[in-house]
């Protein structure tokens, strides 16, 4: 919480490149420490007495539960703020909501549709704003993805990743995360579903060199990690028939995995089994999707304690 007299510039986390490479690695190291602390049952109440506001305009399982559980484990508290439970749903301007929340809580996690809206929250907030997913970015997911890749591949050196499917918000933040950690990324999407060119440019400015293709086999061949996500995201349900047709050939299934004998399979969840990924692949030995889901907890705790220290 900040008052009118003690306001300082907070650090926000609206996308992965709000962190430098060194800062990202520090957060990932802390995430590993928290994971070990949970496994050992060690006390790590580093945010005792602190409160996180969680503003949700979209549904969530993992983001909501991992942030709320994380604050409990850190000795703090989290408040769920559904848009329709607060005055925002009755037309209060976002900037007023943001200013007022800053006077109560120590950080705000926001899941909003438009990326501009999380930027407005950040502009008017005197406490850190954490992006819990917008239409353009999902940086908290990327933190967990990178923690998961590092633990399964024993580091980032020499790792190659293939993104197969929609060049959506998860893909865009993942591209930035790969650039910061020197993961060699190939992105396979159908025409018309590419990662935004501006995001690719940012990835290149960070030292990455993502390859873009429309061929999922080319992307998957000899990859260490194959990552996919739903073809129909929240708010795109009306486009279902068109999208199902456009993504034909982009399913992560056993045929595709034959091109990458050592690859682990990632998915940020929720998955639509039988669409972007088959049931046998997500249940198979090479699937690390529930390690990914678990690491949301550790990575976000690390981010929050790093932002608030």
User: Is 268 a residue that touches ligand CP (CB under 6 A)?
Assistant: yes
| 229 annotated as ligand-binding | yes
141 is catalytic: yes
103 is catalytic: no
Neighbours of 274 (CB within 10 A): 10
- Separation of alpha carbons 48 and 227, rounded Å: 36
* Contacts with ligand CP, 79-118, as mask; x by CB under 6 A: ----------------------------------------
User: Is 61 a residue that touches ligand CP (CB under 6 A)?
Assistant: yes
- Rank residues 293 and 307 by Cβ distance to ligand CP and give the closer one: 293
Min dist. Cβ of residue 91 to ligand CP (A): 26
235 membership: H or E segment, kind and range: none
99 is catalytic: no
Q: In the beta sheet, which residues pair with residue 80?
A: 54
| 259 annotated as ligand-binding | no
Looking at residue 273, what DSSP letter applies?
B
User: Is 141 a residue that touches ligand CP (CB under 6 A)?
Assistant: yes
What the block records as the tokens of 273 is: 């089994």
- Separation of alpha carbons 309 and 306, rounded Å: 6
| 234 annotated as ligand-binding | yes
251 is catalytic: no
Helices 115-124 and 94-102 sit at what angle, rounded to 10 degrees? 40
User: Is 60 a residue that touches ligand CP (CB under 6 A)?
Assistant: yes
Residues in the chain, total: 309
92 membership: H or E segment, kind and range: none
User: Is 228 a residue that touches ligand CP (CB under 6 A)?
Assistant: no
**E strand segments, the chain:** 51-56, 77-82, 107-111, 129-131, 160-164, 184-188, 211-213, 225-228, 264-267
| 60 annotated as ligand-binding | yes
Can you say which residues are annotated as belonging to the binding site for carbamoyl phosphate?
60-63, 87, 111, 138-141, 268-269, 296
- Chain contacts with ligand CP (rule: CB under 6 A): 60-63, 133, 141, 268-270
Active-site amino acid positions: 111, 138, 141, 229, 268, 296
């Amino acid at each position: 919480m900040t008052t009118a007299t003690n306001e300082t510039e907070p650090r926000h986390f609206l996308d992965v490149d709000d962190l430098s490479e060194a800062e990202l690695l520090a957060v990932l190291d802390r995430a590993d420490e928290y994971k070990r602390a949970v496994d050992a049952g060690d006390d790590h109440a580093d945010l005792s007495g602190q409160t996180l506001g969680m503003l949700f305009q979209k549904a969530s399982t993992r983001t909501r539960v991992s942030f709320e559980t994380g604050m409990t484990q850190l000795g703090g508290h989290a408040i769920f703020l559904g848009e329709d439970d607060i005055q925002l749903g009755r037309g209060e301007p976002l900037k007023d909501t943001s200013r007022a929340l800053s006077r109560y809580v120590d950080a705000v996690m926001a899941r909003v549709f438009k990326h501009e809206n999380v930027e407005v929250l950040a502009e008017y907030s005197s406490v850190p704003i954490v992006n819990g997913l917008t239409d353009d970015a999902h940086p908290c997911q990327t933190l967990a993805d990178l923690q998961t890749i590092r633990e399964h591949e024993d580091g980032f050196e020499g790792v190659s990743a293939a993104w197969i499917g929609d060049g959506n918000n998860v893909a865009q933040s993942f591209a930035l995360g790969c650039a910061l950690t020197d993961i060699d990324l190939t992105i396979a999407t159908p025409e018309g579903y590419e990662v935004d060119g501006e995001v690719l440019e940012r990835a290149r400015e960070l030292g990455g060199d993502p390859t873009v293709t429309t061929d999922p086999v080319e992307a998957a061949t000899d990859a260490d990690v194959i990552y996919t996500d739903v073809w129909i995201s929240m708010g795109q349900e009306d486009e279902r028939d068109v999208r199902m047709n456009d993504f034909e050939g982009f399913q992560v299934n056993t045929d595709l995995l034959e091109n990458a004998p050592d690859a682990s399979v990632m998915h940020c969840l929720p998955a639509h089994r039988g669409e972007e990924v088959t049931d046998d692949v997500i249940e198979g030995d090479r699937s690390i999707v529930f390690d990914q889901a678990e690491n949301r907890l550790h990575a976000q705790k690390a981010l929050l304690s790093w932002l608030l220290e």
